[in-house]
Structure 1
Amino acid sequence: MLTINMMSQAESVAGQGVGSAYRELVNLLTKYYPDQLDIRYNEFQPADITHFHTINFPYYLAALNWRRRGVKVGYVHFLPHTLDGSIKLASPVQWGFKHYLLNFYRAMDHLVVVNPVFKDELVKRYGFDADKITYIPNFVAKSSFYKMSEPHRLAARQENGLAADDFVILGVGQIQKRKGIDDFIQLALDHPDIKFVWAGGFSFGKITDGYETYKAVYDNPPANLTFAGIVDRDKMNALYNMADIFLLPSYNELFPMAILESFSAQTPVMLRDLDLYHAIIEDDYIPAVDREDMDKWLIEFKENPKRLEVYVDKAIAASNFYSEDRIAGLWLDFYQGLVADKEK
């Protein structure tokens, strides 16, 4: 049995995809491999593999000085340039944090990325060794995110102040510039006949890039735009189900958990058509180049809702591809391979 020590503070701040990804992974491994993997949490003790999910400074010191740590694995949830538009710090502090992030990754024996595009970024932009980077995609459990019955879907709408015949657009994520929240707000202003709901808040507080501007809209939104705030994860399935379209207008991402959650709930997904999506979910979503494109799609689907049925089918297919069974096997093979290589 392999000992895997999970080092994480991902759930200490609500409303982050990192926390969702961490919880899904530990639940998966404990469910599938109780006799093969001994999962431990935040123990500064010897282990076959120490898996760092977050970049807390005590973890960095442990990675540098801990002699019996086994193989050190770093989970790459973001890169230095993806922080732009998320948090806003004084320039020297921002530069220092980005430098620290790269040093943390370099202290690892191996890195895991959730998108193959970011493996290329690490190699070409930051000089990491490609042989020490593995791509393993995110996933979500179908027991948590699934298609609800029509009565339950309508009940979810009623609980959120929506009518049965409303055309509903859902956005999910922290309220920050990088997430494309400006376009989401403008779309709501441009389409008063469509209901928009954004689930997420200010997880980084006042250091969120554009905080004052977004907080003003958050406190006084257009009549057809609802900010639901940070929603407990066990209540998110109802939000995906009540929506006609899940829209994520982000300018840069890794592999958002919200996309997989929407797929699993069989809700059509519309995304800003970023290159990184082409490598993982090409043809599974409604592609929009910019806000004008999103605008056209919304008009089209509101007038012809049956056209969304093809994207329901695509959501189902994508959800099946990123299944628990397949991803669980990838993680077991990965861990076993690392230990075998170290023993050699």
Structure 2
Amino acid sequence: MSTNLVVNMASESDVSVQGHGVHTAYVELATALERRPDVTLIRGHYSERVECDVYHLHTLGTKVWRKILDPGAKKVVSAHVIPDSLVGSIRLARWWRPAARAYMRWFYGRADKVLAVSATVARALEDELKLPGERIEVLYNTIDMDAYRTTEVDRAAARAELELDEETFVVVGVGQVQPRKRVDLFARMAREHPEVLFIWVGGIPFKHLGADYAAMKRLMSEVPDNLVITDVVPHPQVKTILQAADVFCLPAEQENHPMCILEAAGVGLPIVARDLREYDDSFGEDILRCEDEDFGAAIARLRFDDAEREKWREASVRIRERFDSAAAAERLVGIYRELVGSETAEVG
């Protein structure tokens, strides 16, 4: 076995829509691996096989079939999507969920190792998709936290770029405008707090394929004056908006391990999110977890109580320490080597 691993990492978001967390997760992990001297990383090369030790796939579409079916290399798949992820995201998902479940079982079943982005995803892979437990491993999404570290100077520059004065209290949410993200609740908070500026970064990147497209477009057109909903924006601009914010809020009803929470933690924002089981093993008590009726009061506390705001900023520091991409890349290389080493042992 060569000391240098050749890895072909691919996410079809490279050649399609990029305004979502899967693409960010792929870019962050690929970048972390590219910094390592013991890995040669080849990105992309869609609809073709690549001479490599390991394929690492982040999406499940037809453009990576040549890779998942290639007997010449080990296959690793990051499971960002499970059947529950589709409901409230894609149009008519409830009707074709059985077919999606069967397809996911087939695709994930071709992998030598499936990396679940949370314990909830790992349970779904084993219980619903019937994958063998020994082929599943939890590897949380991570980011380069140093790239998001924000000083007061950075914050002031971001506010100046966005033409925000220092007195404006800013709450930011990030995600596609779709029913499961509960942008309607974000809009309700804006109506309850007219003196606060709310910014939702996302848009509807999949257009008419998005769940309840007409209703979501109507929601976007009827928001109060203190709520701005962007279209899909370049990733550096997302970082700027986060740096200008006072609080991050994600009221989504279904998530696995959202990149936007990691990015907000990297910036050092207090994080308000729905009380989801999916967060138990990842963010735990380091995010302010709410039900529908609690979000507005949580925003008010963070706005008026400096000690409360500082408490949740410190909690975000703990998230930042746990989910840095350099540590994830180290562990991932170990997984690769174990797979390639087992193949070498079998040949020998």
1:10 Cα offset (Å)? 2.1
1:195 Cα offset (Å)? 1.3
The residue aligned with 1:317 is: 318
Alignment of 1:176-325 (within 5 A): 176-288=178-290, 290-325=291-326
Alignment of 1:42-121 (within 5 A): 42-43=44-45, 44-64=49-69, 66-68=70-72, 70-89=73-92, 93-121=96-124
* Residues 1:92 and 1:282: Cα distance change in structure 2 (over 3 Å): closer
Cα RMSD (Å)? 1.8
The residue aligned with 2:138 is: 135
2:338 aligned with 1:333: no
Superimposed CA distance per residue, residues 110-166 of structure 1 (whole angstroms, 9 cap, x where no aligned partner): 10111122111211222111100111111111343121324x423423443533112
* Residues 1:114 and 1:191: Cα distance change in structure 2 (over 3 Å): same
Q: Report the identity percentage.
A: 28
1:61 Cα offset (Å)? 4.8
Superimposed CA distance per residue, residues 263-310 of structure 1 (whole angstroms, 9 cap, x where no aligned partner): 11011111101111110111211111x221111212222222331101
What secondary structure, in the 3-state scheme, does the structure 1 residue paired with 2:147 have? coil
Instruction: Find the aligned partners of 2:71 and 2:34 in 1 and give their Cα distance.
Output: 27
Matched-pair contact (CA < 8 Å) for 2:87–2:94 = no
Matched-pair contact (CA < 8 Å) for 2:105–2:130 = no
What secondary structure, in the 3-state scheme, does the structure 1 residue paired with 2:145 have? coil
1:28 Cα offset (Å)? 0.2
Instruction: Find the aligned partners of 2:306 and 2:214 in 1 and give their Cα distance.
Output: 37
After TM superposition, what 4+ stretches of structure 1 lie above 6 angstroms from structure 2? none
What secondary structure, in the 3-state scheme, does the structure 2 residue paired with 1:229 have? coil
When structure 1 is superposed on structure 2, of 256-265 and 108-117 the one drifting more is 108-117
**Partner AA of 1:200 in structure 2:** G
What secondary structure, in the 3-state scheme, does the structure 2 residue paired with 1:119 have? helix
* Residues 1:270 and 1:37: Cα distance change in structure 2 (over 3 Å): same
Matched-pair contact (CA < 8 Å) for 1:285–1:311 = yes
1:324 Cα offset (Å)? 3.2
Q: Which runs of 5+ in 2 are unaligned?
A: none
Matched-pair contact (CA < 8 Å) for 1:15–1:230 = yes
Instruction: Find the aligned partners of 1:246 and 1:161 in 2 and give their Cα distance.
Output: 19
Matched-pair contact (CA < 8 Å) for 2:144–2:326 = no
The residue aligned with 1:173 is: 175
The residue aligned with 1:9 is: 12
Matched-pair contact (CA < 8 Å) for 2:170–2:197 = yes
The residue aligned with 2:149 is: 146
Matched-pair contact (CA < 8 Å) for 2:116–2:136 = yes
**Partner AA of 2:135 in structure 1:** K
1:96 Cα offset (Å)? 2.8
- TM-score w.r.t. the length of structure 1 is 0.92
1:82 Cα offset (Å)? 1.5
Superimposed CA distance per residue, residues 89-108 of structure 1 (whole angstroms, 9 cap, x where no aligned partner): 37655543343222211121
What secondary structure, in the 3-state scheme, does the structure 2 residue paired with 1:184 have? helix
Instruction: Find the aligned partners of 2:103 and 2:288 in 1 and give their Cα distance.
Output: 37
Instruction: Find the aligned partners of 1:284 and 1:176 in 2 and give their Cα distance.
Output: 26
Instruction: Find the aligned partners of 2:97 and 2:325 in 1 and give their Cα distance.
Output: 37
* Residues 1:210 and 1:305: Cα distance change in structure 2 (over 3 Å): farther
Instruction: Find the aligned partners of 2:87 and 2:93 in 1 and give their Cα distance.
Output: 12
Instruction: Find the aligned partners of 1:38 and 1:303 in 2 and give their Cα distance.
Output: 50
Matched-pair contact (CA < 8 Å) for 2:303–2:309 = no
When the two structures are aligned, how many residues end up with a matched partner? Answer: 338
* Residues 1:315 and 1:118: Cα distance change in structure 2 (over 3 Å): same
Matched-pair contact (CA < 8 Å) for 2:104–2:129 = no
The residue aligned with 1:26 is: 30
Instruction: Find the aligned partners of 1:91 and 1:123 in 2 and give their Cα distance.
Output: 21
1:312 Cα offset (Å)? 0.9
What secondary structure, in the 3-state scheme, does the structure 2 residue paired with 1:13 have? coil
Match of 1:162 among 161, 164, 167: 164
* Residues 1:219 and 1:154: Cα distance change in structure 2 (over 3 Å): farther
